[in-house]
Amino acid sequence: MYKTSVTELLKLLDKPELLNWANKQGLQGIDISKDRSKWLKDGTSIHSQIENFLLKGTPFINKETQFKFVKFMANKEVLGIENKIETEWFTGRYDIKLLIENKEYIVDWKLNHKTLYLENKLQLIGYAMSEKCDGLAIVSVPDLTLMKFSVSNREPYEEILKALAMIYNYKKEIENGKL
């Protein structure tokens, strides 16, 4: 069985919040197709800036963001950066693992993120299926808001990811004429 990434699996899900957001943008006269590539570029850039700063000491493009980042990281210890994970069903790469208040967190950087969505939880729980941790969190950048969350029963989330992997593989086989 081919193993795709957690990110690819999550693309199979309907995202009604995204549709509502896109509709609001359109009603305001904003063409998101033009801005999408800029947003993707900005997201990739901030990930790279964080990684380069932590690994090489390379300064951020925006000094204020760097100042906020240094302050944010002051009471945290880096346990891993961009580590690959692999389960029986999928692969992935988490952004960072941090020691926060003596607990290990798998953390995902998200650009201007205000809400935790199902997809965020699935992504991080997917990483946690391969990498032990005490908690999961999203950090909204550039404001550096930490959004910790816990799930008392991860099994339904894990089963969703396994089912998505099966759907993904069947879909690819059908598309490739193998079924």
Kindly state whether residue 27 falls inside one of the protein's structural domains.
no
What domain count does the chain have? 1
Given this model, what pLDDT does residue 42 score?
A: 64
Kindly state whether residue 107 falls inside one of the protein's structural domains.
yes
Kindly state whether residue 26 falls inside one of the protein's structural domains.
no
- 120-144 residues labelled b (16+ CB within 10 A) or e (exposed): bbbbbbbbbbbbebebbbbbbbbee
Kindly state whether residue 162 falls inside one of the protein's structural domains.
yes
Kindly state whether residue 34 falls inside one of the protein's structural domains.
no
Residue 61's SS3 state is coil
Q: What pLDDT digit, counting tens, does each position of 67-119 carry?
A: 999 999 999 999 999 999 999 999 999 999 999 999 999 999 998 888 899 99
Kindly state whether residue 51 falls inside one of the protein's structural domains.
no
Q: Which pTM was predicted?
A: 0.84
Kindly state whether residue 103 falls inside one of the protein's structural domains.
yes
Q: What pLDDT digit, counting tens, does each position of 34-64 carry?
A: 666 666 676 678 899 999 999 999 999 999 9
Identify the domain containing residue 8 by its residue range.
4-12+63-175
Kindly state whether residue 29 falls inside one of the protein's structural domains.
no
Please provide the size of the chain in residues: 179
Q: What is the CATH number of the domain that holds 68?
A: 3.90.320.10
Q: Which of 32, 10, 4 is nearest to 118 (CA)?
A: 10
The arithmetic mean of pLDDT across residues 137-153, rounded, is 94
